[in-house]
Amino acid sequence: MKLLFDDRALGDLEDIHRWIAQDSARAAKAVIDRIFASTELLGSFPYMGRAGRDEGTREWVIPRLPYIVVYEIDHVANEVIVIAVFHGAQDWEARLKERRQT
């Protein structure tokens, strides 16, 4: 399956990078690289994440990092679409519901 990131997920990654880069640009790059590398697996194994808390989504916890990737599977288009990337300590469930309503 083809792996895509929607604009909001890319915005989440930019925010994560910006936040970490305040302390270390090198660490920020390493975290974003790890998120991308781990998420690439979803193209080959789209069901490796758990069923999402929001209907129609799945969630993949990035190994050894506190980030959760929320994604959808589009079987017709043969795509995995990453719709959000959140830190596990965030109130990300409420933010995700807000996003899906707009």
Q: Which residue range(s) make up the domain with 68? A: 2-101
What CATH number has the domain bearing residue 53? 3.30.2310.20
Mean pLDDT, residues 2-30 taken together: 96
Instruction: Say how far apart CA 44 and CA 82 lie, in whole Å.
Output: 14
Predicted pLDDT at 7: 96
Half-sphere exposure of residue 91, counting CA atoms within 13 Å on the CB side?
Answer: 4
Residue 100: pLDDT above 80? no
Residue 93: pLDDT above 90? no
Q: Are 90 and 76 spatial neighbours (Cβ–Cβ below 8 Å)?
A: no
* Whole-structure pTM value: 0.86
Cβ neighbors of 2 (< 8 A, separation 6 or more) are 43, 77, 78, 79, 80
Q: What is the CA radius of gyration of the chain?
A: 13
Predicted pLDDT at 4: 97
* Strand bridging mode 2-5 / 79-87: parallel
Q: What is the pLDDT of residues 30-85, one digit of tens each?
A: 999 999 999 999 999 999 999 998 889 999 999 999 999 999 999 999 999 999 99
Number of domains in the chain: 1
Predicted pLDDT at 88: 84
